[in-house]
Amino acid sequence: MTVETKSRAKHPLSRRTFLSATATAAGGLMVALYLDLPLSAQAPGAGEGVKYPPAAFVEIRPDGKIVIQVNRLEFGQGVATALPLLLADEMDADWSQVVAELAPAADIYRDPMRGIQMVGGSGSIRTSFQQYRELGARTRAMLVEAAAQQWKVAPAQCRTEASVVHGPGGQSAKYAELASEAAHLPVPVAVQLKKPSEFRLVGKAAPRLDSRPKCDGSMRFGLDLDLPGMKVALVARPPVFGGKVKSFDDKSARSVEGVRDVFEIPLVKGGSAVAVVGDGFWPAKQGRDKLQVEWDLSGLERADSARLWTKYRELARTPGNVAAAVGNEKAMDAIPATRRLVAEYEFPYLPHAPMEPLNTTVRFDGDRAEVWAGSQFQTVDQAAVAQVLGLKPTEVTFHTEMTGGGFGRRAVTDSHVQREAAEIAKRMRGIPVKLIWTREDDVQGGYYRPMHAHRAEIGIGANGMPMAWRHVIVGQSLLAGTPFAGGIKNGVDDTVTEGVADTQYAIPNLHVWAHHPTVNVPVLWWRSVGNTHTAFVMETLIDELATRAKMDPIAYRRKLLSPDAKKVRAALDLMEAKSAAWRSKLPKGHAVGIAAHESFGTGVACAAEVSIEKGQPKIHRVTVAADLGIAVNPLSVESQFQGGIVFGLSQLVPGGAITLKDGQVEQSNFDSYVPPYMGEAPLAVDVHIVPSAEKPTGVGEPPVPVIAPAVVNALAKLTGKRYRSLPLNSL
Amino acid sequence: METYQLTVNGQKMEATADPTTPLLWVLREHLKLTGTKYGCGIGACGACTVHLGGEAVRSCGVSVAQVEGRPIVTIEAMAQDPVGRRVQEAWVAHDVVQCGYCQSGQIMTAVAFLKLTPHPSDANIEQSMGANICRCGTYVRIRQAIQAAAQQLK
**Nearest residue of chain B to residue A257 (CA atoms):** B1
B74 and A354 in contact by Cβ < 8 A?
A: no
- pLDDT score for A35: 33
Average pLDDT, chain A: 93
**Domain end marker among B17, B47, B75:** B75
Which of A72, A230, A234, A355 to mutate to probe the B interface, most B CBs <10 Å? A355
User: Looking at the structure, do residues B67 and B96 belong to the same domain, yes or no?
Assistant: no
Helix (H) or strand (E) holding A647: helix A634-649
Which residues in chain B have Cβ-Cβ distances shorter than 8 Å to A207? 92, 95
Domain harbouring B100, CATH code: 1.10.150.120
User: Looking at the structure, do residues B112 and B94 belong to the same domain, yes or no?
Assistant: yes
User: Looking at the structure, do residues B148 and B127 belong to the same domain, yes or no?
Assistant: yes
User: What part of A 425-454 touches B (C-beta under 8 Å)?
Assistant: 438-440
- pLDDT score for A618: 97
User: What part of A 326-355 touches B (C-beta under 8 Å)?
Assistant: 353-355
Kindly state whether B22 is in contact with chain A, defined as any CB-CB distance less than 8 angstroms: yes
Which residues in chain A have Cβ-Cβ distances shorter than 8 Å to B42? 439, 669-671
CA B21/CA A207 separation, integer angstroms: 39
User: Looking at the structure, do residues B29 and B85 belong to the same domain, yes or no?
Assistant: no
User: Looking at the structure, do residues B24 and B59 belong to the same domain, yes or no?
Assistant: yes
The secondary structure of A352-419, three-state, reads CCCCCCCEEEEEECCCCEEEEECCCCHHHHHHHHHHHHCCCHHHEEEEECECCCCCCCCCCCCCHHHH
User: What part of A 147-206 touches B (C-beta under 8 Å)?
Assistant: none
Bridge-partner residues for A591, per DSSP? A610
**Domain end marker among B51, B75, B99:** B75
CA A222/CA A359 separation, integer angstroms: 7
Which residues in chain A have Cβ-Cβ distances shorter than 8 Å to B88? 212, 215-216
Bridge-partner residues for A272, per DSSP? A266
**pLDDT per position as a tens digit, A680-729:** 999 999 999 999 999 999 999 999 999 999 999 999 999 999 999 999 99
User: Looking at the structure, do residues B47 and B57 belong to the same domain, yes or no?
Assistant: yes
The pLDDT-based confidence of A307 (bands split at 50, 70, 90) is very high
**pLDDT per position as a tens digit, A637-656:** 999 999 999 999 999 999 99
Question: Nearest Cβ partner of B78 from A216, A220, A677?
Answer: A216
User: What part of B 43-102 touches A (C-beta under 8 Å)?
Assistant: 44-45, 47, 74-76, 78-79, 88, 91-92, 95-102
Question: Nearest Cβ partner of A281 from B25, B45, B137?
Answer: B25
Determine contact, residues A94/A64, Cβ cutoff 8 Å. yes
Residue A51 has pLDDT above 80, yes or no: no
**Nearest residue of chain B to residue A436 (CA atoms):** B38
Mean pLDDT across A245-266: 98
Sort residue A228 into left (φ over 0), alpha (ψ -120 to 50) or beta.
beta
Dihedral (CA of A9, A13, A15, A16) sign: positive
How far B109 CA lies from chain A's nearest CA (Å)? 13
- pLDDT score for A53: 81
- Domain ranges, residue B83: 77-153
The pLDDT-based confidence of A622 (bands split at 50, 70, 90) is very high
User: Looking at the structure, do residues B141 and B115 belong to the same domain, yes or no?
Assistant: yes
A282 and B133 in contact by Cβ < 8 A?
A: no
Which of A283, A285, A263 is CA-nearest to residue A420?
A263
Kindly state whether B2 is in contact with chain A, defined as any CB-CB distance less than 8 angstroms: no
For residue B71, which phi and psi values (nearest 5 degrees)? -65, 130
Which of B136, B141, B143 to mutate to probe the A interface, most A CBs <10 Å? B136
B103 and A643 in contact by Cβ < 8 A?
A: no
Which of A161, A185, A187 is CA-nearest to residue A174?
A161
Mean pLDDT across A593-605: 98
Domain harbouring B46, CATH code: 3.10.20.30
**pLDDT per position as a tens digit, A204-251:** 999 999 999 999 999 999 999 999 999 999 999 999 999 999 999 999
User: What part of A 595-654 touches B (C-beta under 8 Å)?
Assistant: 635, 639-640, 642-647, 649
Kindly state whether A528 is in contact with chain B, defined as any CB-CB distance less than 8 angstroms: no
For chain A, the straight-line distance linking the first and the last C-alpha, in angstroms and rounded, comes to 48
User: Looking at the structure, do residues B20 and B82 belong to the same domain, yes or no?
Assistant: no
What burial letters (b/e) apply to A477-488, b meaning 16+ CB within 10 Å? bbbeebbbbebb
Which of A282, A361, A616, A645 to mutate to probe the B interface, most B CBs <10 Å? A282
Give the count of domains, chain B. 2
User: Looking at the structure, do residues B71 and B81 belong to the same domain, yes or no?
Assistant: no
**pLDDT per position as a tens digit, A490-529:** 999 999 999 999 999 999 999 999 999 999 999 999 999 9
**pLDDT per position as a tens digit, A359-415:** 999 999 999 999 999 999 999 999 999 999 999 999 999 999 999 999 999 999 999
pTM confidence score: 0.94
User: Looking at the structure, do residues B65 and B86 belong to the same domain, yes or no?
Assistant: no
User: Looking at the structure, do residues B49 and B114 belong to the same domain, yes or no?
Assistant: no
Which of B48, B139, B146 to mutate to probe the A interface, most A CBs <10 Å? B139
Mean pLDDT across A301-308: 98
User: Looking at the structure, do residues B105 and B128 belong to the same domain, yes or no?
Assistant: yes
ipTM for the whole predicted complex goes beyond 0.95: yes
Type of residue found at A302? R
**Nearest residue of chain B to residue A230 (CA atoms):** B29
A684 and B140 in contact by Cβ < 8 A?
A: yes
**Domain end marker among B75, B90, B113:** B75
How far A295 CA lies from chain B's nearest CA (Å)? 26
